[in-house]
Structure 1
Amino acid sequence: MNEEGTLVDSKMLSKKIVSIAAGEAHTIALTGDGSVYSWGRGRMGRLGTGSEHDQLFPVPIEFDSSSERGKLRVTEIAAGGYHSLALTDDGSVWCWGDNVYGQLGLDGGHSLVPVLLESFLEVGSSDSSTDEPEMKSKAPLKVSSVKAGGMMSLAIDNLGALWMWGNCPQRNSSSEDGLAPMPVLNLHGHTVVKVACGNEHVVALVTAGETYKGGDLVCYSWGNNNHGQLGLGDKTSRLHPEVIEHFNQEFPCAAYEVACGAFHTAILAHKKSQSDTLGSACWTFGLGDNGQLGHGTTKSSLLPEPVKELPENLSLISVDCGLFHTSVISSDGDLWSWGMEKGLGLCPDARFTGTDAGDAVSPLLISCNGMHGPKFPSPVQVACGAAHTVLLAEAGYKLWSWGRGMSGVLGNGKVVDCFTPSIVLWPPVSEDIKEEGKDIVPGDTKGEEKDPEGITEMDKRLSMAMEEITFLRSKLSVVERYASILHGLTFGKPFEERDIPISLQNSGTFDFINEWDNMLESADHSKLIRLEMFYRNMLAGVKDKLMKRRIGEIIKECLNSTARN
């Protein structure tokens, strides 16, 4: 391939997102060229940008690589409640954010920038010691996968062993005060393929034998079990992994994906007779107070139960859990959510009122509301934060988000809650401006003269363009909020894109009388009653105001007449 073709491929990879992860109120994304972006709440450094400022749009994270390592290429990312992890192609792990429980594997407070976790390098060296001879390896230890949740971090090494650090069950049951990652020795002799963790519990998909050859996986769980989130049939906590019997080798369904909420667990499994994920189902267990199990009730479940109201013969490709909500997406682009506040995950301080309020105890189909109709095109992954959801689709070139918008976690430039999927600003505006400038990046002095302060003309243009875009988006946000308030007062529900009148969508003009008649014709009895009450109150207020002004005028006339006499 020639140099021009390589450059084009590089540009495409930089715009394609291959993985996303969501924390309590922040989101991170990994692109095809190994770059990482973050947005949302910056407190405690969870964004890795070097500051604690919130970011309303995706911004790049810089990794301080030494000259020996060369340029780092990130291959995997993970987000805990208030911290983040990244794995690079040389097998090194980088951590940033909150460190109150040692979830960064470092001594000290939180970190505003990615810091290399040296512990794995020390454990993998030839002179490292361990109580288990089997854990030794002549080859240097490398990490092949990372995961995070709550205030703990996890990693799977190149031998299939699981390591944990932070607020994890092993640490809590150990007298050790060290911060270094510890291996889960109980799983020795097996290969850990996938793992997930909640606030204080862990669920792993593990091979029955020593190596993974694509066969059936056995499901293990351990940690806090006060709500039955381990799926073991009781509420007794476990310090060490135990098999969830519903997903052992004899079970007719094979588990292939796992996700954990704060106190509940979701597992994707397909029928063993199927060669792929067709005919898959979602099984949930644990806390069900807000409908996050999707079983049609708010009851908790001590054993795995299928989410029965999902359609049959689905091919579910991704599942994730927020604090109190769950989301799954199929290969066809259908997305379902259930749990707190209609599956949006919105916490009590952000509840909306009206007939549409309330938790979703069964799956709700979330529509794309775009040109593709209700389905999300070429879906890749869904990720749930504490109270927001992010969806990666269009083969990695487009992001949608919804839920709590505080601190800019939705990446759409706003800090307000969004009740339907909204587009995340991707790729970042600065990247588009670079392309329009024919790849002249800020600081590149070729063909440009610097002023005395060392600022190029392109730097100035980029800065002015970014300021103008930020200003326009802030104005747009105010207008949208104003329209949403008026719409909510009139119709008793938040404004959605599909509420835009057809005449305005098609022609750009608004036939008010015709659209008003259409709205009245399509409204049900309850909406008509609400409209009647709303406008009756408005009319009463107008009449009252007119009456008060008329009385004031009469009094003024009488006073003037008395003064003249």
Structure 2
Amino acid sequence: MTNLGSATFVAEPGAIDGGGSTMCAIASDGNVYCWGGNGELLGSPQAVVDEPTPIANPTGQRLVQVSVGQHHACAVSDSGDAYCWGDHTYGQLGSFGATEDVAELQAVATQSLDPGEVFVEVACGDRHTCASTSQNRVFCWGDNSNDQLAVPDVASTTSVPRVIDSPVWGRTATLTQLDASMKASCAVVDATPVSTHTIYCWGRNTSGKLGALDPGHVLTEPLEVEPAANAANVEFRRVSTNFNHTCAVADDGQIYCWGRKEHKLGTVFPSISGSDIPHPDRPIDGGRQYLDVAVGTNHSCGVSVANEVFCWGHNENYRLGVSGPDTPTPQQVVFPSR
């Protein structure tokens, strides 16, 4: 039994997301509903909420996209406003009036935006938030201890959205997707005049997950993820990053993963020594084409063009959707018949 009433969940990209121990989804009534084990996000003192619970929305705005971090979440409305709720310890809600914990939608400050500029997509990391706008700019706020905001004059934290001053995008490039994770952020950019889908990342390069040669190094500005020689001509259209690995869907539908090996990359690399793969090198096993990919702390899942779900990596708590050991080989998740 849920609290949805007559509403139903929306089957659209960006309408559902999970972070930490919480899931949130947008329903047909334009509100966001959350469930799981994080009271800061659920507006409830209970440790666990076992059914979708509406987040207070005093604005009445219809929400169209949601992103969930470790202890906070944000959403974008159909009019281009951004709202956040949850933990505000590091300024990750982007709101001047917010206290440490907020149980209802708080408007993200917009004084840094140009007239007519609105938010398009929001991405929540562990303790920071980034958002793209209608003018192909990226604003970030919250914790900057690992340069995950890519704003050099913010030493620690800020609750004011700050624009990333980067030459790799702007009014002549299109930001097609944004993602944030623990201590890092990534964006897919469609550059013009020649259409090239490229990933740029910034923040802490744990295990080489940001596509840079020096694992653990901090990238203070957005840098292009450069594929290895095996994937020299590959372009990407979707990206997902987490604690120590990243996966992306290429234009041909194949998924590439890089970062910490440990069964997380969807294939094995017998000819490459060491524990990290710092660049997109080879696609995951199976030869399938995918529409999207989502990366967890130690596992990943992809949705194929045949609307099938495959997962790989660590299988603690059955996170791969099947019984069995940890595996680098994508395993199909079989849904019960209805």
Compute the TM-score of the two structures, normalised by the length of structure 2: 0.85
Specify which of 118, 135, 140 is matched with residue 221 of structure 1: 140
Measure the CA separation in 2 of the matches of 1:403 and 1:176: 35
- Contact 2:87–2:100 at 8 Å: present in 1 too? no
Aligned residues with identical type, % of pairs: 23
Measure the CA separation in 2 of the matches of 1:171 and 1:259: 16
Partner in structure 1 of residue 209 of structure 2: 292
- Contact 2:129–2:140 at 8 Å: present in 1 too? yes
Is the alpha carbon distance of 1:96 and 1:294 closer, same or farther for their aligned partners in structure 2, counting shifts above 3 Å? same
Partner in structure 2 of residue 445 of structure 1: none
Partner in structure 2 of residue 18 of structure 1: none
Residue 323 in 1 paired to residue 233 in 2?
no
Measure the CA separation in 1 of the matches of 2:104 and 2:240: 28
Residue 167 in 1 paired to residue 87 in 2?
yes
Partner in structure 2 of residue 105 of structure 1: 43
Is the alpha carbon distance of 1:177 and 1:222 closer, same or farther for their aligned partners in structure 2, counting shifts above 3 Å? closer
**Deviation of 1:250 (Å):** 4.6
- 1:26-56, CA deviations, whole angstroms, 9 ceiling, x for partnerless residues? xxxxxxxxxxxxxxxxxxxxxxxxxxxxxxx
Measure the CA separation in 1 of the matches of 2:126 and 2:210: 17
**Deviation of 1:242 (Å):** 1.0
Shifted more, 334-343 versus 155-164: the winner is: 334-343
- For the residue of structure 2 that corresponds to 1:362, the secondary structure is coil
Measure the CA separation in 2 of the matches of 1:240 and 1:420: 43
- Contact 1:316–1:331 at 8 Å: present in 2 too? yes
**Deviation of 1:257 (Å):** 1.0
Q: Unaligned 5+ residue runs, structure 1? A: 1-61, 125-140, 209-216, 347-352, 370-374, 432-565
Structure 1 or 2: larger strand share? 2
How many residue pairs were aligned? 321
Partner in structure 1 of residue 329 of structure 2: 420
Partner in structure 2 of residue 200 of structure 1: 127
Measure the CA separation in 2 of the matches of 1:161 and 1:251: 20
Partner in structure 2 of residue 405 of structure 1: 315
Specify which of 268, 271, 288 is matched with residue 376 of structure 1: 288
Partner in structure 2 of residue 72 of structure 1: 8
Residue 366 in 1 paired to residue 283 in 2?
yes
- 1:13-37, CA deviations, whole angstroms, 9 ceiling, x for partnerless residues? xxxxxxxxxxxxxxxxxxxxxxxxx
**Deviation of 1:193 (Å):** 0.7
- For the residue of structure 2 that corresponds to 1:180, the secondary structure is strand
- For the residue of structure 2 that corresponds to 1:407, the secondary structure is helix
- Contact 1:235–1:302 at 8 Å: present in 2 too? no
Measure the CA separation in 1 of the matches of 2:44 and 2:118: 27
- Contact 1:106–1:180 at 8 Å: present in 2 too? no
Partner in structure 2 of residue 144 of structure 1: 64
Measure the CA separation in 2 of the matches of 1:252 and 1:309: 24
Measure the CA separation in 2 of the matches of 1:408 and 1:111: 20
- For the residue of structure 1 that corresponds to 2:59, the secondary structure is helix
- For the residue of structure 1 that corresponds to 2:42, the secondary structure is coil
Specify which of 37, 42, 53 is matched with residue 115 of structure 1: 53
Q: Unaligned 5+ residue runs, structure 2? A: none
Specify which of 221, 228, 244 is matched with residue 303 of structure 1: 221
- Contact 1:107–1:179 at 8 Å: present in 2 too? no
- For the residue of structure 1 that corresponds to 2:196, the secondary structure is strand
AA in 2 matched with 1:402: W
**Deviation of 1:206 (Å):** 0.7
Partner in structure 1 of residue 193 of structure 2: 273
Partner in structure 2 of residue 462 of structure 1: none
Is the alpha carbon distance of 1:205 and 1:247 closer, same or farther for their aligned partners in structure 2, counting shifts above 3 Å? farther
Is the alpha carbon distance of 1:247 and 1:240 closer, same or farther for their aligned partners in structure 2, counting shifts above 3 Å? farther
- For the residue of structure 1 that corresponds to 2:206, the secondary structure is coil
Measure the CA separation in 1 of the matches of 2:100 and 2:259: 38
- For the residue of structure 2 that corresponds to 1:390, the secondary structure is strand
AA in 2 matched with 1:424: V
Residue 182 in 1 paired to residue 118 in 2?
no
**Deviation of 1:367 (Å):** 3.0
Root mean square deviation of aligned Cα? 2.7
Q: Choose 1 or 2 for highest CA Rg.
A: 1
- 1:344-371, CA deviations, whole angstroms, 9 ceiling, x for partnerless residues? 279xxxxxx99855111222323333xx
- 1:397-453, CA deviations, whole angstroms, 9 ceiling, x for partnerless residues? x11111110000001233x2112222222x32x44xxxxxxxxxxxxxxxxxxxxxx
